[in-house]
A = this chain, B = another copy of it.
Amino acid sequence: MPLGRPTVVPDDGLTTRERRQRPLLIVHTGDGKGKTTAALGLALRGWAQGWSVGVFQFVKSGAWQPGEHAALAELDRAHRDHGVGGPVDWHTMGAGWTWSRATAAADQAALAAEGWAEVARRLTGEAHTLYVLDEFTYPLARGWVDIEEVVATLQARPGVQHVVVTGRGCPPALLDAADLVTEMTKVRHPFDRGQKGQRGIEW
């Protein structure tokens, strides 16, 4: 028997690699802070593994240019220039999706649906190993994107593709489909004492 070949292989239809690394559907929800930042921390880990990371921000504001975008763009550049880590592909709905001709002036519902359609295409094509669908719960909760189609597409996604969805008020059907759900619960927040959000902390 070749060295390292197990004598018994579990009858679960998975390869050894698949058994070790199963694709996870992760949800960060709840009213507390940390949903997006925790997804970004996972993006750091994925980058370090050499994974292709796709970040899709389902947010409205176009002027929004968060610090994390600059940081992940720098890590993408390090990958291209020095071959370290993996590529990071960042798209924001706010200014109109990067791949699309529609601008931020377009109907928000249509933009959200367009964003999901692109994510679905990439899942089918196994474009990334880690997808961050930031604030994706909002278009789902508003019915701009069909929750049943999303769950079906996620459940049928091929290969090893991890997906992290963030946002408050996650629809129960997505929670039920998720492998890992963390609820970020607000215990105390400076906004409650009238303090405004500040750079470096909120963006």
Question: Is the beta-carbon distance between A49 and B67 smaller than 8 angstroms?
Answer: yes
Question: Is the beta-carbon distance between B47 and A71 smaller than 8 angstroms?
Answer: yes
Q: How many copies of the chain does the oligomer comprise? A: 2
A contact patch SS: mixed
Complex CA distance for A72 and B48, rounded to whole angstroms: 10
Question: Is the beta-carbon distance between B38 and A34 smaller than 8 angstroms?
Answer: yes
Of B28, B46, B190, B203, the contact of A34 (CB 8 Å cutoff): B28
For the complex, is A5 an interface residue (Cβ under 8 Å from B)?
no
> Could you pull out 12 A-B pairs where Cβ atoms are within 8 angstroms?
A27-B187, A32-B184, A37-B44, A45-B68, A46-B200, A48-B71, A49-B67, A179-B188, A179-B190, A183-B184, A183-B185, A184-B185
Complex CA distance for A37 and B24, rounded to whole angstroms: 16
Q: Which of A135-143, A144-152, A191-199 contacts B (4 or more CB under 8 A)?
A: A191-199
In this complex, what residue of B is CB-closest to A69? B48
| Per-residue contact bits, chain A 71-114, to B (CB 8 Å; 1 contact, 0 not) | 11011011000001100000000000000000000000000000
A67 to chain B, nearest CB (A): 3
Of B22, B37, B196, the contact of A42 (CB 8 Å cutoff): B37
Question: Is the beta-carbon distance between B74 and A182 smaller than 8 angstroms?
Answer: no
Question: Is the beta-carbon distance between B182 and A33 smaller than 8 angstroms?
Answer: yes
Question: Which of A36, A41, A186 has the most chain B CB within a 10 Å cutoff?
Answer: A41
Of B24, B44, B180, B183, the contact of A44 (CB 8 Å cutoff): B44
Complex CA distance for A103 and B116, rounded to whole angstroms: 50
